[in-house]
Structure 1
């Protein structure tokens, strides 16, 4: 069965990837296996070949459908249309200084009118609304049937949707969703209402744990869950379903249900779970994985029988929802379930030799899941989460009660809201415990070790995980060896992570990976550096400074006061900041006030242009600054005007030169280009995170050897723009990005520069 599952999964993934090389290789393998089956009279090989051929045929049919289907064709052409869609779940992103509010949700396309023709359809689509319309779409009831005008676009490669529907305003002709959708909507809204009085973390987490509703989760909380390996708790997963079915089984036995009727009750529970979570492909994946886990627990048969059941579930899910073949969530679910089936019992038996059985099981489950999923997690996050096992262990006692109590609140809300409030309150306290584990875990200096997510690194991680799975039982059955390993892990968590070979001991300039923001470090002496911008997150900046060995900051320059450049100020407390330099533009006002609050007593210089500081081997110059009173000092918000008023800074250290222009946009960059030699430099921090609003003339004037782009992975702004990367590359510069390479150091080298990425 694993061979059959691998054939189905691999062939479907190759076809869905639309990569010619992958399709050709998969086709050759199917032919080879088919010939082998014919020569050896092998039933298994014949089954593998037949299923592979079936998937190839299915993929061909899908490709043909996507080629000739009018919805897909209109999406490729970017056509305008009037559409009727049935709305599913979605999420809202609030407006920022550079991006309007955004709502993105799933929907089923029912009717389409474009270019004088009309079609009925049942295609899955993604709906996107921006600006004022985003709030209107977010308030639509689940399942509502609405009419709207829109522009169609192609979905991302591998995405299950047939098209992206970019709506052009509020929907019209909103029709009732119907009884099933109304029931589901009432249950989900009831859960939100029951959680409304809870603290912020609990209000966001309980719906996420129960039905995968992450609408209320802040980006900060999401980042903490990713860093500590807890993000799987907020997705609709097999674990959620297994917990619910376990509770349902206990309840059924308690009321007297016996024999096959228990299976009927559990089947009804699965159907209700799928409906409550809107029946999306990820929910079907969770249902399949949850049932596998429950079957393995209920019927035994050892790990081999469990893996066979898992293989059947993989085949069923991939055949029913081919897009799952390229889903990272699906891969994580399969690996986690397989790890639990194959390794959890040996780990628990080894620990059970000297620990109570309940504690051995509690340790074995997160350890097995982490070992199994680590290669994929590394590929996703570009880091190894050292704290994940401990975080999952610490959170485990809270997950079950929070999920079950939250489910109880969901069911009680439409009938008896006071009871729902009480259950939600209890679930909320458990959720607060999970959130606190994420906060404490993420705050540890060694919580995550950056690692470049290329094929070689993933192969090494996979090999290490297999080796760990093989040797861990021998270690875990020995108390001294286990405690020594745990002590080493604790020491690693209390120290900043060390990437082999990073930072370069001779580094002179560094760009810290601070997410979607900028933080540039210029070395001025032993354990001293000037800091240009702080990024949005003080924890990330503090971690980077610790790794670089920076203990004192004689000069802090803020190009402008937007949060992505000045939000990490608190990372510099206790690092001996001697002077702060800003422009005359003192908005947003809250950020301006925070400088004095975070760094009280530190002298502040308002740059007018031409200022220069010599610090050890480094010289920093303000090449250009905005005129005083360019922008009102009373504004609390952010605007693109502050971007264009960013300071232009040039630094020189040991023969290496650097230019930083903050978030300067095209017009200001063009003005900077006229400065000639004053902006010529070896290293350029590409302005505005590689925004498409760039000036090729500025890049030519700088003529860098190395270009650094400080940008957050998977950001919502489309940074860096391909056109900007091409324009920088055309100057002859090598481009390095923090979203791909982590923090980056640059040092002088014989005949050029030495660039050392963290991963």
Structure 2
């Protein structure tokens, strides 16, 4: 009698991928359809239904074939087409409604209109080159002169002034706005004050819901805690990032921890798991436990809001609970696929939400790769660590690594860098999340009715929250924390290698789980070298060799692109360095071997710090902040981290928006409002790089209503190599004020080097170029910036005679004086 095959306990079950084609086709249809011509969108459901009918007929005709794989493929394709058809019908109806309402034409024309909207998120304040702006995501309910309703998804991102401050999620508002961009998201600039209430009803006070009250109360109670907790607690508990400063928000993104403060699927899983443990500990019937579990999910979604990652996690949890209750399979991959199909069928527009894409990708990576990676990594750690710590560390590593590998290609669609230490940051911070989320949610739930108890809980969870903030800020300050991803074909090839190598390693790990272990191990007397040879002969098949080459190519390519982590050093003989700090200004003027004058700091502390490190600067003799726009002062902390400047000066105008106290400028920083002359002379003490520097402030208008025109205009006379090189740095000075300075004869001429004002913007004018007739012009400007800097008219005014160095093209560059007038050599 033949024995039945019994699967050993140590062999993983096969992965159920039957719903993956259907989920992939549904996602593809929802993603591509909005960009297709309207006629094709109308035909798409019929095309899918037709393919479904043909594949069913093909299945019937081939059902007796011996080629079971072909038959199985035809059946899977048929199921995918039929499952996707409802989503295509919903997309068709939404597109038809959008065409009928005129919304598609309105967005394409970048038009201006009155809009009645309902806010989806709380407004967030962000610093910009021209001051602070408020941003909020909203759903348009009606637009245009006649307030045409929008019975279709019409989500926009609004940028406005302080009139957004008193509004919150779910509030209605009315405003006039202009569409400024509609490539990936529809951005609308409010051209007038945003009024609360609908446009039809006129101005009204913002409504206050129970969730608003809870969030406001939690923010108030969190503000009494310590360290980073006031900024992070509302986000870690309820996904409310409105309290995060620009510095902390940037640190969370650079360290790869921003998902913790967005309330993701991890938060939902923790809350649902804690509730399930509580209900089961009460020995409740199975049906009651499942019902309570679903009720907990529903309540949590209502508290934190309908965020894409929460919707995905809650739907997946509900389907999983249903499957368990009815005794169905509990594999996570088909549940993820089914939940994706259900969500996109109901709301196809979610496929364009970055939060939803990252949530699905991270979950898929964890579901497929975490267990086999943990099973491979844990035995290695058990050789050095106790079993408990080996298990915890290997699990945390596996989850963080697989989620990051799955999400990285998607992250590169909206950021141009890699967080070098995000895996380390997640290993340290993610274990702290349960200590914050579960008790923090309890505190949020009772903060209105029992504020004393809630405050006590928040003080306790403030400790791990502060640790998360500390980890994020420290990691963001490490050298090379932001590694720029290569552009063009090289970057695309690197992404392909990334996916290919990750897939190969994943398949190897999955097959390793499916490989049975021998019941009896026979130790043959052979040398280690013989064992290696035998193993190599068994494994070196053609397929394995190709896979090994791909993985090695991916590793080498990543190493070549991202190693070393420290920034490339500029030429050791530099005299002026233009720092590539993105859309902003930062320049170094040498005053000695390892000392410099720093003119502005750019918007980003890590980039400012990297530039100083690349130039080998250990001493800052003078820091000049030309004015208080964020793209000139935002990176100040990065300078201070390298070397506290011996003297700091700045200028600002009469606009109260630009308050020195709101920046990182210390009390010792001195505001300049009149001409000043100073000298920096290290020549006698520094024979290697003898430099004498005379600096003169030609203008710094504290009464200027325009912050650009309050810029310090700095004239430098650099005594070097037996000659003198003159340079003029103009901040963001605009054309009208430059004309006044020229009329007053306050600008010398000619000048060797001119730093063009306002990143080469048109409003900087050409008068300074014509007057100073420089040998070289410098521009600090971000690559692919949305402002159109530098302007074609400015570049034309420079002409072929004037050498031009710009950070968007040249990156961080060095200017070296050989004699006077300057002879320039540029180093990337």
Distance change >3 Å, CA 459–CA 505, structure 1 → 2: farther
- Alignment partner, residue 709 of structure 1: 780
- Alignment partner, residue 526 of structure 2: none
- Alignment partner, residue 736 of structure 2: 667
Q: Distance in 2 between matches of 1:703 and 1:292?
A: 69
Report if aligned partners of 1:78, 1:152 keep a CA contact under 8 Å in 2. Answer: yes
Q: Distance in 2 between matches of 1:252 and 1:379?
A: 42
Report if aligned partners of 1:201, 1:217 keep a CA contact under 8 Å in 2. Answer: no
- Kindly state the Cα deviation for residue 271 of structure 1 after the two structures are TM-superposed: 2.0
Q: Distance in 2 between matches of 1:469 and 1:55?
A: 29
Distance change >3 Å, CA 506–CA 394, structure 1 → 2: same
> What is the correspondence of 1:446-465 to structure 2 with a 5 Å cutoff?
446-452=480-486, 454=488, 456-461=490-495, 463-464=497-498
- Kindly state the Cα deviation for residue 520 of structure 1 after the two structures are TM-superposed: 1.3
- Alignment partner, residue 145 of structure 2: 114
Report if aligned partners of 2:751, 2:775 keep a CA contact under 8 Å in 1. Answer: no
- Does 1:559 pair with 2:584? no
- Alignment partner, residue 480 of structure 1: none
- Alignment partner, residue 43 of structure 1: 75
- Kindly state the Cα deviation for residue 308 of structure 1 after the two structures are TM-superposed: 2.9
Give TM-score scaled by structure 2 length: 0.69
Report if aligned partners of 2:603, 2:631 keep a CA contact under 8 Å in 1. Answer: yes
- Alignment partner, residue 337 of structure 2: 311
Give TM-score scaled by structure 1 length: 0.75
- Alignment partner, residue 218 of structure 2: 191
- Superposed CA deviations along residues 260-297 of structure 1, whole A, max 9, x for unmatched, are 33222222222222222232445424434666898999
> What is the correspondence of 1:201-350 to structure 2 with a 5 Å cutoff?
201-281=228-308, 283-288=310-315, 305-350=331-376
- Does 1:695 pair with 2:742? no
Report if aligned partners of 2:333, 2:367 keep a CA contact under 8 Å in 1. Answer: yes
Distance change >3 Å, CA 320–CA 647, structure 1 → 2: farther
Report if aligned partners of 1:536, 1:563 keep a CA contact under 8 Å in 2. Answer: yes
- Kindly state the Cα deviation for residue 399 of structure 1 after the two structures are TM-superposed: 0.5
Moved more, 71-80 or 229-238: 71-80
- Kindly state the Cα deviation for residue 221 of structure 1 after the two structures are TM-superposed: 0.6
Match of 1:546 among 609, 613, 619: 613
Match of 2:702 among 631, 637, 648: 631
Distance change >3 Å, CA 299–CA 689, structure 1 → 2: farther
- Kindly state the Cα deviation for residue 213 of structure 1 after the two structures are TM-superposed: 0.8
- Alignment partner, residue 483 of structure 1: none
Q: Distance in 1 between matches of 2:334 and 2:75?
A: 17
Q: Distance in 2 between matches of 1:52 and 1:307?
A: 18
Report if aligned partners of 2:101, 2:150 keep a CA contact under 8 Å in 1. Answer: no
Q: Distance in 2 between matches of 1:711 and 1:327?
A: 26
Distance change >3 Å, CA 50–CA 514, structure 1 → 2: same
Q: Distance in 2 between matches of 1:308 and 1:531?
A: 57
> What is the correspondence of 1:10-89 to structure 2 with a 5 Å cutoff?
10-17=28-35, 42-47=74-79, 59=91, 61-70=93-102, 76=109, 78-81=111-114, 85-89=117-121
- Kindly state the Cα deviation for residue 410 of structure 1 after the two structures are TM-superposed: 1.8
Residue segments in structure 2 that go unaligned for 5+ positions in a row = 1-18, 59-69, 514-562, 684-688, 818-822
- Does 1:407 pair with 2:441? yes
- Kindly state the Cα deviation for residue 432 of structure 1 after the two structures are TM-superposed: 1.3
- Superposed CA deviations along residues 136-186 of structure 1, whole A, max 9, x for unmatched, are 435xxx54556x45346476333379x7776535436677999xx833333
Distance change >3 Å, CA 311–CA 703, structure 1 → 2: farther
Distance change >3 Å, CA 86–CA 593, structure 1 → 2: closer
Q: Distance in 2 between matches of 1:612 and 1:527?
A: 14
- Does 1:498 pair with 2:566? yes
Report if aligned partners of 1:289, 1:337 keep a CA contact under 8 Å in 2. Answer: no
- Alignment partner, residue 713 of structure 2: 646
Report if aligned partners of 2:98, 2:150 keep a CA contact under 8 Å in 1. Answer: no
Residue segments in structure 1 that go unaligned for 5+ positions in a row = 478-494, 714-718
- Superposed CA deviations along residues 652-689 of structure 1, whole A, max 9, x for unmatched, are 999999764212123235568997973575xx755335
Match of 1:137 among 147, 167, 170: 167
Distance change >3 Å, CA 32–CA 571, structure 1 → 2: farther
- Does 1:372 pair with 2:406? yes
- Kindly state the Cα deviation for residue 580 of structure 1 after the two structures are TM-superposed: 7.0
- Kindly state the Cα deviation for residue 529 of structure 1 after the two structures are TM-superposed: 4.7
Distance change >3 Å, CA 672–CA 470, structure 1 → 2: farther
- Alignment partner, residue 481 of structure 1: none
Question: Between Structure 1 and Structure 2, how many residues are aligned?
Answer: 704
- Superposed CA deviations along residues 422-466 of structure 1, whole A, max 9, x for unmatched, are 222222222112112212222333434333355632541552465
- Kindly state the Cα deviation for residue 309 of structure 1 after the two structures are TM-superposed: 2.7
Distance change >3 Å, CA 350–CA 660, structure 1 → 2: same
> What is the correspondence of 1:516-531 to structure 2 with a 5 Å cutoff?
517-522=584-589, 527=594, 529-531=596-598
Q: Distance in 2 between matches of 1:592 and 1:190?
A: 28
Q: Distance in 1 between matches of 2:324 and 2:777?
A: 56
- Kindly state the Cα deviation for residue 406 of structure 1 after the two structures are TM-superposed: 1.3
Match of 2:579 among 512, 515, 528: 512
- Does 1:535 pair with 2:602? yes
Match of 2:196 among 159, 166, 171: 171
Report if aligned partners of 1:555, 1:578 keep a CA contact under 8 Å in 2. Answer: yes
Report if aligned partners of 1:16, 1:326 keep a CA contact under 8 Å in 2. Answer: no
User: In angstroms, what is the RMSD of aligned CA positions?
Assistant: 5.3
Report if aligned partners of 1:292, 1:306 keep a CA contact under 8 Å in 2. Answer: no
Report if aligned partners of 1:652, 1:658 keep a CA contact under 8 Å in 2. Answer: no
- Kindly state the Cα deviation for residue 526 of structure 1 after the two structures are TM-superposed: 5.7
Distance change >3 Å, CA 92–CA 613, structure 1 → 2: same
Distance change >3 Å, CA 538–CA 411, structure 1 → 2: closer
Q: Distance in 2 between matches of 1:228 and 1:534?
A: 21
3-state SS in 1 of match to 2:232: helix
Q: Distance in 1 between matches of 2:804 and 2:34?
A: 31
3-state SS in 1 of match to 2:136: strand
- Alignment partner, residue 492 of structure 1: none
Distance change >3 Å, CA 688–CA 591, structure 1 → 2: farther
Match of 1:722 among 788, 793, 799: 788
Q: Distance in 1 between matches of 2:681 and 2:83?
A: 70
- Alignment partner, residue 387 of structure 1: 421
- Kindly state the Cα deviation for residue 209 of structure 1 after the two structures are TM-superposed: 1.5
Distance change >3 Å, CA 257–CA 582, structure 1 → 2: closer
Q: Distance in 2 between matches of 1:735 and 1:14?
A: 42
Distance change >3 Å, CA 119–CA 543, structure 1 → 2: closer
Report if aligned partners of 2:276, 2:293 keep a CA contact under 8 Å in 1. Answer: yes
Q: Distance in 2 between matches of 1:312 and 1:96?
A: 42
Report if aligned partners of 2:435, 2:464 keep a CA contact under 8 Å in 1. Answer: yes
